[in-house]
Chain A
Amino acid sequence: MKATVLVRPKPGILDPQGEAVQSSLRQLGFAVEEARVGRVVDLELEDGDPEQAQAELERMCEQLLANPLIESYEITVT
């Protein structure tokens, strides 16, 4: 079973990396108003119950993959 976790800086959190990317893209001539930079974690899980996997992925995000104070996350199981 494969899963992908997307971690993003929460709205309103200063994202200097995103700002730098936005400004570089503008310098290249692209009309980009805002860029936010997050993180992708691809996981390969042992096969098992998908519901249980979903619950475990949420625990992984809460405990380690994201810092809930500053980041939101999105889980996709495939």
Chain B
Amino acid sequence: MSRPKIAVVVFPGSNDDHDAALALEGLGADPVLVWHAETELPEVGAVVLPGGFSYGDYLRCGAIARFAPVMSAVQRFAAGGGLVLGICNGFQVLCEAGLLPGALRPNASLEFVCRDVPALVERADTLFTSRCEPEQALTMPVKHGEGCYFADGELFAELEANGQIALRYADNPNGSIGNIAAVINDAGNVFGLMPHPEHAVDPLLGSTDGALVLGSLVDAARERTLAPV
């Protein structure tokens, strides 16, 4: 089977970039690390914005990273229907960039949470969750201080009505509205989640559920590479 190329963006302060690349490689992709100062993306089937503390998380998490040169290329890629996955800090960057709705606020507890949490699959029919079953509980670690998803009343109702809430925490670790752990854009090609699938891909890590998410992305990227959008 062909190994689709997937870009993993590296911002100054990213620290899960190599873990994401390693996980994608293990799942049959050919990851390419792309430095934030690049103005073009290589020919890829998908883009991953990894976890970490881009630009030191100054001002607000993701607020400065969204203006990195590479983000213009990611915006164009997404606008053309390209698949973009944001994990943790990557999710924050996507929200700040307006590629995903809503915002991520400091955890309600004000504590940094670092533990495995179960999240229920609400949408198993997206390109990022195709290997999952509906209502399946995925165990993946969270590790963040600002993962409290916020949408105002109107936006929240819209997300519910459009089926844009992809994963919900079974045990809310951060105070997110509606127990939201992952959202997808209306077009279905941009997905963000706070749990770390790349840290749940091997029994040694305590769970392999993250492989279902990243594996879905690899499947979709492979199809895209065979038949470009």
Chain A contact residues, CB within 8 Å of chain B? 13-14, 16-17, 20, 64-65, 67, 69-70
Contact = CB atoms under 8 A, between A and B. Distances in A.
A69 B96 CA distance: 10
**Shortest beta-carbon contacts, A-B, top 7:** A16-B110, A70-B103, A69-B103, A16-B108, A16-B106, A67-B103, A20-B110
Contacts of B103: 67, 69-70
A49 B2 CA distance: 59
B106 A70 contact: no
Contact of B175 (A14, A17, A64, A65): A14
Given A64-B67, A67-B63, A69-B102, A14 B148 contact: yes
A10 to B, nearest CB: 9
Contacts of B148: 14
B108 A14 contact: yes
Contact of A13 (B60, B67, B105, B107): B105
20 contacts: A13-B105, A14-B105, A14-B108, A16-B106, A16-B107, A16-B108, A16-B109, A16-B110, A17-B106, A20-B110, A64-B59, A64-B63, A64-B67, A65-B59, A67-B96, A69-B102, A69-B103, A70-B103, A70-B105, A70-B150
Contacts of A20: 110
A74 to B, nearest CB: 17
A64 B68 CA distance: 13
Contact of A67 (B60, B64, B107): B60
Contacts of A69: 102-103, 150, 152
Contacts of B106: 16-17
Interface of B: 59-60, 63-64, 67, 96, 102-103, 105-110, 148, 150, 152, 175
Please classify the interface of chain B as helix (H, G, I), strand (E, B), loop, or mixed, using the class held by over half of its residues.
loop
Contacts of A17: 106, 110
Contacts of A64: 59, 63-64, 67
A65 B67 CA distance: 13
Contacts of B107: 16
B58 to A, nearest CB: 11
Nearest to A16: B110
A13 B107 CA distance: 12
A17 B109 CA distance: 9
Contacts of A65: 59
A17 B105 CA distance: 11
Contacts of B67: 64
A70 B95 CA distance: 12
Nearest to B109: A16
- Most chain A beta-carbon neighbours within 10 Å: one of B107, B109, B148, B152: B152
A37 to B, nearest CB: 10
A14 B107 CA distance: 10
